Chain A
Amino acid sequence: MIEFRNVTKMLGGRAVLDGVSFHVEQGETFVIVGSSGVGKSVTLKHMVRLFRPDEGEVLVDGESISRATGSRLEKMREQFGYLFQGGALLAWLTVAENVALPLREKTALSNDEILKRVRETLKLVGLENDGHKHPSEISGGMQKRAGLARAIVRQARIVLYDEPTSGLDPVTSRAIDALIEGMRRELGVTSVVVTHDLHSALSIGARIAMLHGGKMIECAAPEDFVRSSRPEVRAFLESQFITKRGAWERIIQ
């Protein structure tokens, strides 16, 4: 469904991505982990062509999004929902208006249908009573959930999550995890999740990949990922106390 072929991206004179190749299957939840600044978000942004690779290409359903322009790019992007780290809500619109925006701008739905869809989506993320508020009137976690509602309101086939649980309390984090998993199970949504939260990664990921030094140094199912012998992966696991067998088994289950 999504394929990276030898993607290299230089930013600030440094190869943030250095010949990265991987593919994401349809209906899969693919998780990318790694330390700060290793290019996780950059990888995600290549998938919707917010960045263009310096070398290599990114394919979506076999078609290069890296080379797409104009209406073709617009068409390809319509398949995607994207949750930004900070929610990226428009400050002058209410939460409900933010969620309704892609429907109003890009569909021919009637106002009643739009309102119905927005209500349903806000309920899904637990913001059914906050639709009238502006982004500045709600907490960071709520902004993130509103951003998630906007990302999924158009029933995207592929949803990209940039640190969906960072800054959220554990209960809300697990609720977001459940939402991602529920969308995969019930709607067949393909998800790519960038996160630092290994608990989240192990519980929702079908495969977990780790970026380090511009390379994808590991890409495996959760059970295999936690058994990886690579020192970088071990260090990452140890930093979150997920090295004992009992700990990660419980999370995966």
Chain B
Amino acid sequence: MNLRAVGKAALLLALAAAGIRFIYRKRCRIEVYASMYVYGIKSLGVITVVAVFTGMILALNTGIAMRDFHQEAHIGTAVMVSMLREMGPFMTGLILAACVGSAMAAQLGTMVVSEEIAALEIMSIDPIRFLVMPRLMAMCVMTPLLSFYTCIMGVIGGGIVGKQLLDVPWDIYFDNALRWAKNKDLFVGMFKAFLFGVIITTVSCYEGFATTHGAVGVGAATRKAVIICFLAILITGLLVTGLFYY
């Protein structure tokens, strides 16, 4: 993605954001709700599995290390802070980039190839307002919510490992977890997730619209969208953490 493409993607985002003023239209609202269901609710299954296992792995790794110092009772704190600050939004972002970002790029790419976008233009229907805006709205709402859900499931997963493998009782695990959970961690995590939602939608829609060369082009656009989303999520995560905690 060169500088020109970054500029075009930014313009796409600005136009989609400007299209939010049409949200009062019933048809727009229906599209937003439909997108929230497809991109959010339908991702719950995979997110639940990944979140629980992420929490388990975090708890096991920190628990084993802390057991040497007889501090395994504090794994709740480690899991909670890691999930809220970093792993929750990060894992959510990666899953949505892989599942939702690829689907967006493929769908819009196919629409370009089959001239559906051109048909919208001829009908004087703005494709960005009609197609990108509902997706952007849906992702801006659903990504932070899913990130919060990932944190909860991760903490539960950590608790399971704590109880079963490290003999940390539930009440101590959750007491430690909640005692050290700060509002700032939660809000920074949600902010990160919001940014990830914006990035995934912008990059995927841009790559979809830029599709050329038929079915091969759709495949290439999808692959490119996922790779760029992954990289952008990593870089943004680092920058936001640095901004709030460094």
Contact = CB atoms under 8 A, between A and B. Distances in A.
Given A86-B115, A88-B114, A77 B125 contact: no
B123 A105 contact: yes
Contact of A86 (B114, B124, B130): B114
B116 A88 contact: yes
Given A85-B115, A88-B114, A88-B116, A50 B122 contact: yes
Contacts of A85: 115
B118 interface: yes
A106 B121 contact: no
B125 A102 contact: yes
A1 to B, nearest CB: 17
A110 B43 CA distance: 37
Interface in A96-117: 101-102, 104-106
Contacts, number: 47
Interface residues of A, number: 22
A90 B116 contact: yes
B125 A80 contact: no
Interface residues of B, number: 13
A82 interface: yes
Contact of B115 (A84, A104, A105, A150): A84
B140 to A, nearest CB: 21
A86 B114 CA distance: 7
A48 B114 CA distance: 17
B215 interface: no
A106 B124 contact: yes
A84 B117 CA distance: 11
B112 to A, nearest CB: 11
Contacts of A150: 119, 123
B70 interface: no
B121 A78 contact: no
B115 A78 contact: no
A55 interface: no
A50 B123 contact: no
A105 B122 contact: no
Nearest to B118: A50
A80 B27 contact: no
B121 to A, nearest CB: 7
A88 B125 contact: no
A102 B115 CA distance: 16
A45 B130 CA distance: 22
Nearest to B124: A74
Contacts of A77: 121-124
Nearest to B116: A88
A150 B120 CA distance: 11
A89 interface: yes
Interface of A: 45, 48, 50, 74, 77-78, 80, 82, 84-86, 88-91, 101-102, 104-106, 147, 150
Given A84-B115, A90-B111, A106-B123, 10 more contacts: A45-B118, A50-B121, A82-B122, A86-B114, A88-B114, A88-B116, A105-B123, A105-B124, A106-B124, A150-B123
12 contacts: A45-B118, A50-B118, A80-B122, A84-B118, A88-B116, A89-B116, A90-B111, A101-B123, A105-B27, A105-B125, A106-B123, A106-B124
